[in-house]
Amino acid sequence: MKVLLVHNRYRSESPSGEDRVVDQEGDALLSAGHDVERFERLSDDIDGWSLPRKALVPGRVVWSRETRSSLSRLLRRLRPDVVHVHNTFPLISPSALFACRDEGVPAVVTFHNYRPICPSGDLFRDGAICHDCVGHLPLPGLRHGCYRGSALATAPLAVATVAQRPMWRDLPSAYVFISRAQRELFSPLGLPGDRVFVKANLIPAVSPTAAPPEHKVVYLGRLSDTKGLPVLMDAWERFSGEHPAASLRLSIAGSGPLEAAVRAWSDRHRSVDMMGLLDRAACARLVASARAVVAPSQWEETFGLVVVEAMAAGVPPIASAHGSFPDLITDDVDGVLFAPGDASALARVLGELDSAPQHFADLGRRARLTYERRFDPDDNLEQLLSIYCFACQHARLRREAASRR
């Protein structure tokens, strides 16, 4: 099968799990003998543009003429069986779907975040979950300046959520959500249910290490409010105060808007190691060396790569009990769930990890079994290919394009 991947890559200083998923699925397709081509745009490129060209970026968020024309030319040259559309923000836009319609090529869309129903893309505002714009005009998002704290910056995204709804509903041949929880939150968008699929992100298999873990818990991800860093820091303060003789350590790896604050906080705690931004191999080694991985997200994660990556390594995840996490983790079977935003509850879990490491080792072994049963990469690839086949078999758009010609 010939597949064209369409994706707008995120800025390199803020590595995205979405970029990683696109790469991992593309690599799996290539390894299975399929022909994979890419149509990509890089957010890093914006920095080198002239000021007039930068000023046009908000308009491209809503509609990119350049994408439609250049992608149409590429489709005519490559003639792929299917186009898989991932992130279109900010330089591609859903005009990519019109290029697919024009050339009669079925499009499959994976929604990695909440941007089609939320201007900020994360359903999170002022330190709390917010669904004000879901199923409604995005006026609250505009009023509160949900994107970058600015009404001006939010305006094109607010326009896009309204203008692009018919495109999302009518043009793709299949939709992929990465968790059941995400699919439910998208229900107000009114997507046709017969074209909707739920497929977890593809997580490559790893061999669990035979070395005994270090007595530490790891946080790996973006350093931001949405990811729950304030909750984690509060919980660690409580845990350390209640267990002054504990030997458990906390390792934090990543970058983001709270990096300076987290680094200053870690400098005051001898039990905390600030690792900075690590490459993928170093991240994998860090996870494999831990007794547990913590994901205290405040927003409703659409998937949570680090949770399943920990499971693949035989390391139990500790996560907030909302969003996709209850879909991924069975509490006290292959991981631990705690009440979202409850630093006291997380502190108690940390105390249990410190005092009962064998219990968490048992959770880790069962986490690996969960990964093998539910997230096997070969099974995941077969599911992806079946979605592609569905899109090709139900490519009414191809017939419509032919009739127009």
Pair of tokens at residue 283: 């991240």
As for how many domains the chain has, the answer is 2
For residues 90-103, give the mean pLDDT: 96
Q: Are strands 128-129 and 124-125 parallel, antiparallel or unpaired?
A: antiparallel
Q: Is the pLDDT of residue 54 over 90?
A: yes
Question: Cα separation of 96 and 199, whole Å?
Answer: 22
pLDDT of res. 148: 85
pLDDT of res. 333: 98
pLDDT tier at 404, thresholds 50, 70, 90: low
Question: Cα separation of 162 and 195, whole Å?
Answer: 21
Are residue 355 and residue 397 in the same domain, yes or no? no
For residues 348-366, give the mean pLDDT: 98
Are residue 384 and residue 370 in the same domain, yes or no? no
pLDDT tier at 269, thresholds 50, 70, 90: very high
Question: Cα separation of 36 and 7, whole Å?
Answer: 13
User: In sequence order, what DSSP letters do the residues of 132-157 get, joined into one string?
Assistant: TTTTS-SHHHHHHTTTTT-HHHHHHH
pLDDT tier at 399, thresholds 50, 70, 90: low
Q: Is the pLDDT of residue 405 over 60?
A: no
Q: Taking the CB of residue 247, how many other CB atoms lie within 10 A of it?
A: 9
Are residue 304 and residue 163 in the same domain, yes or no? no
Q: Is the pLDDT of residue 334 over 60?
A: yes
Residues 149-162: pLDDT tens digits?
Answer: 899 999 989 898 89
- DSSP tag of 202: P
Are residue 36 and residue 173 in the same domain, yes or no? yes
In percent, how much of the chain has pLDDT > 70? 98
Nearest to 393 by CA among 176, 197, 106, 171: 106
Question: Cα separation of 8 and 6, whole Å?
Answer: 7
User: Is residue 209 in a domain?
Assistant: no
pLDDT of res. 207: 87
- Predicted TM-score (pTM) of this structure: 0.93
Q: Is the pLDDT of residue 387 over 80?
A: yes
CATH classification at residue 225? 3.40.50.2000
User: Is residue 137 in a domain?
Assistant: yes
pLDDT of res. 381: 98
User: Is residue 396 in a domain?
Assistant: yes
Higher pLDDT, 140 or 177: 177
User: Is residue 208 in a domain?
Assistant: no
Are residue 393 and residue 266 in the same domain, yes or no? no
Are residue 231 and residue 122 in the same domain, yes or no? no
User: Is residue 52 in a domain?
Assistant: yes
For residues 267-283, give the mean pLDDT: 95
Q: What amino acid is encoded at 140 in this protein?
A: P
Are residue 197 and residue 293 in the same domain, yes or no? no
Are residue 179 and residue 228 in the same domain, yes or no? no
Are residue 114 and residue 239 in the same domain, yes or no? no
Domain ranges, residue 6: 2-203+378-404
Question: Cα separation of 38 and 36, whole Å?
Answer: 7
pLDDT of res. 396: 57
Residues 230-259: pLDDT tens digits?
Answer: 999 999 999 999 999 999 999 999 999 999
Are residue 400 and residue 351 in the same domain, yes or no? no
> Beta-strand (E) ranges in 34-185?
35-42, 82-85, 107-111, 124-125, 128-129, 174-177
User: Is residue 211 in a domain?
Assistant: no
Question: Cα separation of 26 and 7, whole Å?
Answer: 11
Contact 185, 134 (CB under 8 A): yes
Question: Is the bond preceding 212 in cis, omega lying within 30 degrees of 0?
Answer: no
User: Is residue 287 in a domain?
Assistant: yes
Cβ-in-10-Å burial (0-12, 13-18, 19+) of 333 comes to: middle
Report the sign of the C-alpha dihedral through residues 145, 151, 157, 161, in that order.
positive
Q: Is the pLDDT of residue 395 over 90?
A: no
pLDDT tier at 62, thresholds 50, 70, 90: very high
pLDDT of res. 139: 87
Are residue 140 and residue 232 in the same domain, yes or no? no
Nearest to 363 by CA among 322, 394, 332, 402: 332
Contact 197, 158 (CB under 8 A): no
pLDDT of res. 14: 75
Residues with Cβ < 8 Å from 336, sequence gap 6 or more? 292, 316, 317, 318, 319, 329, 349, 363
Relative orientation angle of helices 305-312 and 280-288, to the nearest 10 degrees: 60
Q: In what order do the strands lie in the sheet with 2-9?
A: 35-42, 2-9, 82-85, 107-111, 174-177, 196-198
Pair of tokens at residue 4: 């064209």
pLDDT tier at 284, thresholds 50, 70, 90: very high
SS (H, E, C) 280-340: HHHHHHHHHCCCEEEECCCCCCCCCHHHHHHHHCCCCEEEECCCCHHHHCCECCCEEEECC
User: Is residue 277 in a domain?
Assistant: yes
Question: What mean pLDDT value characterizes the chain?
Answer: 94
Are residue 339 and residue 310 in the same domain, yes or no? yes
Rank 4-13, 361-370, 393-402 by mean pLDDT and report only the highest. 361-370
Nearest to 316 by CA among 343, 287, 275: 287
Cβ-in-10-Å burial (0-12, 13-18, 19+) of 108 comes to: buried
